Structures are given as structure tokens and as C-alpha cells.
């Protein structure tokens, strides 16, 4: 296994904090005080960006109510993302410390993770320095028969009836938006299964752009995208697991814990039967629903999603020439073979575990890796993510982004992890509207 050369002090490996007997002052007007401690970790450059070989320093601060917490004990780790070392503890006399983080000799991301324990509760923070991410190259291979495999897979859809069922849900409609539960037929290696979802459309007659909203990972209910439809979009939000999307929550809880637990690993040793085979085809079929909608404008078809939905948006767009634009947030399943080369791979981190490093499993990932679909995009794409994402490591996402040849735009929120901020979500909706041609 090849390891990325890293230069940083071996003793700087991790950092956790306990408030060691320190009592914060209580205002004279009150009897007691509570707060929400924060652990803030920041690289020493405003854009968190470095050239390979440049040194980076991280400042770690424990705050409560905007003030540094004196005598907090912290534990920190420093290293390439998902390869951070073991912990070192330190007491912060003034609530803050700056440590040397070393450097990286190859493009990638160097991360400092810190935590503190106050009143029995643990609080975490992290900061991530980028080293020439625009020069990150893939580790995933591209099979010689990749295009043939997907042409043959898609050919099954050509003569298969959509068999669309669409039911108006009056109690979920608004004066501006109609809401329907939908399901349609999807093949799964000789068997017929179904995709379920929620379609929302403007109540006012007219012609409108269409958006396929593909889901993040997990097993859950879906309730449609009424806010987008109120702004003039036909939106189909789909689930991928072949179950209705508005069942009692306990049903999804049970499936998540049993039959669908860790579904991205199902049949990984067989490219024909792998779980995402049916999923990718089902997403393309979702576009069939939209282009056959009587209110579609006949021109604009956008696919949008985040995390697993970012994966599915890129895949669907690459497989379907009708797509005119893609909006993706922190895409999953990018360059998943990174772990075989000593660096972070994309969610679901299968190849970081020996049990999934069988040659047949590794080969299967090459037919489903988001990166190999990113090479084949034919329409503009808008991407967004954060440097602090621990679920979809930025190394993996940049590996995919860097092979895209169509017009592309990347928006970064430096400190964001895998949970988006209100501002990020607002901008996400704006990006979808822009891509759909709505000012």
C-alpha cells in the first residue's frame, strides 16, 4: 500500500478537554449559569489553503458564550483526513493554543480534530487545511467496458412500460402547489420492482422546468419539495428502496436496522446484482416521469441532490442525455479506492475495511464510482461542499471534480462538515432555480 508522504511532528496527534475544576462566573443577577461550549479549530490562513510543502499551524480554542474557557483540557489529533493520529492532551490556560501541524508533500487535506469534556459532556471541533486540492488525481480505475456495461443496462428500459401510478393527496396540497404520490416500474435483473416518490407541481396551468430530487443515504419518509414548486418547478422527489415513502416512521426504523442495514455493500462482489444497479436505473426512470409530464417545458431537466443524492445526481446526469444541468452537494461514492492507496476514499468507506477488499468487490466499485460518471457529464454542473466533511472526504470529492470537463462551478463553505448551514441550504435552492433557468 502506497502512503502519502506527510511531514508533521509525531507528538502532535490529538487534543480533548475537561474543565478541570474551573467554575465560570455566574452573573450577579442569576443563581446559576449554563452554556453551549464550542471547540473551534482554524488553520492559520484565511482561505485554509496551502501549497504542498508549506507549513500549517492550527489554533484550537474552547469557547462558551463567545469567551475563551480558561483551564479547559483538550485532546487533539493531526493528520491526513481519516488518517489522523492518536491523541495528545493539553490544558489551555487561556482557553486557546496554537500548534504546528506540519505539512503535506502531495495534494490533499491535513486535518486537526479536537474535543473537550465539560460537565460530563463532550464537545468536538475540527479544522482542515487544503493542499493544492485542484491537483488531486483519481485512484479509481476506469474499466474498458464501462460504457458498454451501462449501455446494455439502460437498454432494458427502452421497451419497459413505465406503468406510472399517480395519486393526488389533497390534504398536502396548497393553493400554489399540487402534491401527488407516485410510483413506477423499475427492472432488477429479470424482476420488476418499483420506485416510490412525491411529485409536486405548480397549481397554475403552464409550462415549467423539471427537477429530479434524488435522496441522501438512509431509509426515511419523503414529503415532496413544495417550496421549489411554488417558485415554478415540477419536482419529483424519489426514494430508492422500493418502499412507499409516507409510511409510519417505525417502518423505516426497522428496515434501517435490519433488511436495509448497510445496503451499499449488498452484492458488491457482482456488478450485475450490486444494489446500486437498480437504483441508478430507477433514477433515470424518474426522468421519464418528468419528461412525460404534460406541464414540462420540453427543455429544462435538472437533477439535484446531496451526499448519496450528490452521487445519484452525477450518475443520473451522466447516463441520461436529456439532463440539462446538475446541482450536487458533497457527493458520495467518489474515488472509493482511495483507501487502497493510503488516503481517504468516499462514503460509504467500504474499501477501508478488509472484508470488502476482495478483487471482485474492488472491480465492481469501478462501474459504480461517481468519479467515472463525472468524466461523462454532458451538461453544466454546480457543486458545493465544505473542507470539514468527515463523511464525504474532500479528497474524494476533488478527485471526481477534477475530471469533469463540462462547465462547472464549485462553492465552498470552509468550516462546513456533512451537515449544511441555513445559508448553504438557501444557496442550494437558488442554485437549482438558476440551473433550471428561473431568475
Q: pLDDT digit string (tens) for 374-413?
A: 999 999 999 999 999 999 999 999 999 999 999 999 999 9
Count CB atoms within 10 A of the CB of residue 205: 8
Cβ pair 356, 274 in contact under 8 A: no
Spatial separation of the C-alpha atoms in residues 189 and 209, rounded to whole Å:
32
Mean pLDDT value across residues 346-352: 97
Q: Give the HSE-up count for residue 411: Cα atoms under 13 Å, Cβ half-sphere.
A: 16
Q: pLDDT digit string (tens) for 114-157?
A: 999 988 889 999 999 999 999 999 999 999 999 999 999 999 99
Spatial separation of the C-alpha atoms in residues 380 and 19, rounded to whole Å:
50
Residue 24's pLDDT band (cuts 50, 70, 90): confident
Full-prediction pTM beyond 0.85?
yes
Residues sharing a CB contact under 8 Å with residue 127, sequence separation 6 or more, in sequence order: 40, 41, 42, 43, 48, 58, 111, 112, 388, 415
Average pLDDT, the chain: 93
Q: Is the pLDDT confidence value at 237 over 90? A: yes
Spatial separation of the C-alpha atoms in residues 391 and 126, rounded to whole Å:
13
pLDDT at 16: 41
Mean pLDDT value across residues 253-266: 97
Q: Is the pLDDT confidence value at 17 over 60? A: no
Q: pLDDT digit string (tens) for 292-335?
A: 999 999 999 999 999 999 999 999 999 999 999 999 999 999 99
Length of the chain measured in residues: 439
Domains 6-21+28-135 and 146-435 in one fold: no
Domain boundaries, the chain: 6-21+28-135, 146-435
Higher pLDDT, 133 or 87: 133
Question: Which CATH code, of 1.10.1040.10, 2.40.30.30, 3.60.21.10, 2.60.40.1940, is assigned to 6-21+28-135?
Answer: 2.60.40.1940
Catalytic residue numbers, as ranges: 307, 389, 418
Q: Is the pLDDT confidence value at 288 over 90? A: yes
Per CATH, the homologous superfamily of domain 146-435 is: Alpha/Beta hydrolase fold, catalytic domain (3.40.50.1820)
Cβ pair 282, 290 in contact under 8 A: no
pLDDT at 235: 98
pLDDT at 189: 82
Spatial separation of the C-alpha atoms in residues 127 and 149, rounded to whole Å:
41
Candidates 338, 438, 371, 381; CA nearest to 82 is: 338
Cβ pair 103, 132 in contact under 8 A: no
Residue 23's pLDDT band (cuts 50, 70, 90): low
Amino acid at each position: 500500500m502506497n502512503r502519502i508522504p506527510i511531514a508533521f511532528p509525531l507528538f502532535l496527534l490529538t487534543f480533548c478537554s475537561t474543565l478541570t475544576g474551573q467554575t465560570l462566573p455566574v452573573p450577579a443577577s442569576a443563581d446559576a449559569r449554563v452554556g453551549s461550549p464550542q471547540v473551534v479549530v482554524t488553520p492559520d490562513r484565511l482561505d485554509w489553503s496551502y501549497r504542498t510543502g508549506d507549513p500549517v499551524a492550527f489554533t484550537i480554542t474552547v469557547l462558551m458564550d463567545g469567551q475563551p474557557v480558561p483551564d479547559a483540557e483538550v485532546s487533539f489529533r493531526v493528520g491526513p483526513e481519516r488518517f489522523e493520529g492518536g491523541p495528545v492532551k493539553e490544558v489551555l490556560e487561556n482557553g486557546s493554543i496554537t500548534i504546528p501541524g506540519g505539512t503535506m508533500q502531495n495534494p490533499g487535506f491535513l486535518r486537526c480534530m479536537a474535543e473537550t469534556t465539560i460537565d460530563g459532556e463532550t464537545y468536538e471541533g475540527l479544522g482542515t487545511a487544503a493542499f493544492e486540492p485542484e491537483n488531486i488525481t483519481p485512484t479509481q480505475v476506469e474499466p474498458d467496458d464501462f460504457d458498454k456495461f451501462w449501455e446494455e443496462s439502460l437498454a432494458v428500459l427502452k421497451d419497459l412500460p413505465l406503468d406510472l401510478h399517480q395519486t393526488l393527496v389533497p390534504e398536502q396540497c396548497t393553493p400554489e402547489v399540487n402534491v401527488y404520490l407516485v410510483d413506477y416500474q423499475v427492472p432488477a435483473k429479470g424482476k420488476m420492482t418499483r420506485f416510490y416518490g412525491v411529485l409536486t407541481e405548480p397549481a397554475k396551468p403552464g409550462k415549467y422546468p423539471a427537477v429530479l430530487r434524488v435522496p441522501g443515504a438512509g431509509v426515511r419518509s419523503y414529503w415532496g419539495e413544495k417550496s421549489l414548486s411554488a417558485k415554478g418547478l415540477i419536482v419529483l422527489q424519489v426514494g430508492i428502496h422500493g418502499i412507499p415513502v409516507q409510511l409510519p416512521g417505525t417502518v423505516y426504523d426497522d428496515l434501517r436496522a435490519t433488511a436495509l442495514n448497510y445496503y451499499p455493500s449488498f452484492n458488491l462482489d457482482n456488478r450485475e446484482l450490486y444494489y446500486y444497479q437498480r437504483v441508478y436505473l430507477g433514477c433515470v426512470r424518474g426522468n421519464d416521469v418528468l419528461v412525460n409530464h404534460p406541464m414540462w417545458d420540453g427543455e429544462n431537466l435538472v437533477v439535484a441532490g446531496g451526499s448519496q443524492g450528490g452521487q445519484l445526481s452525477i450518475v443520473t446526469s451522466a447516463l441520461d442525455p436529456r439532463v440539462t444541468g446538475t446541482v450536487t452537494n458533497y457527493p458520495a461514492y467518489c474515488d472509493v479506492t482511495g483507501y487502497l492507496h493510503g488516503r481517504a476514499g468516499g462514503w460509504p468507506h467500504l474499501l477501508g475495511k478488509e472484508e470488502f477488499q476482495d478483487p471482485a468487490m474492488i472491480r465492481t466499485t469501478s462501474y459504480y464510482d461517481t468519479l467515472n460518471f463525472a468524466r461523462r457529464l454532458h451538461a453544466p454542473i454546480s457543486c458545493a461542499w465544505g473542507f470539514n466533511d468527515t463523511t464525504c472526504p474532500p479528497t474524494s470529492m476533488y478527485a471526481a471534480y477534477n475530471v469533469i470537463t463540462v462547465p462547472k462551478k464549485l462553492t465552498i463553505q470552509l468550516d462546513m462538515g456533512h451537515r449544511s448551514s441555513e445559508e448553504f441550504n438557501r444557496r442550494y435552492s437558488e442554485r437549482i432555480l438558476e440551473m433550471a433557468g428561473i431568475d
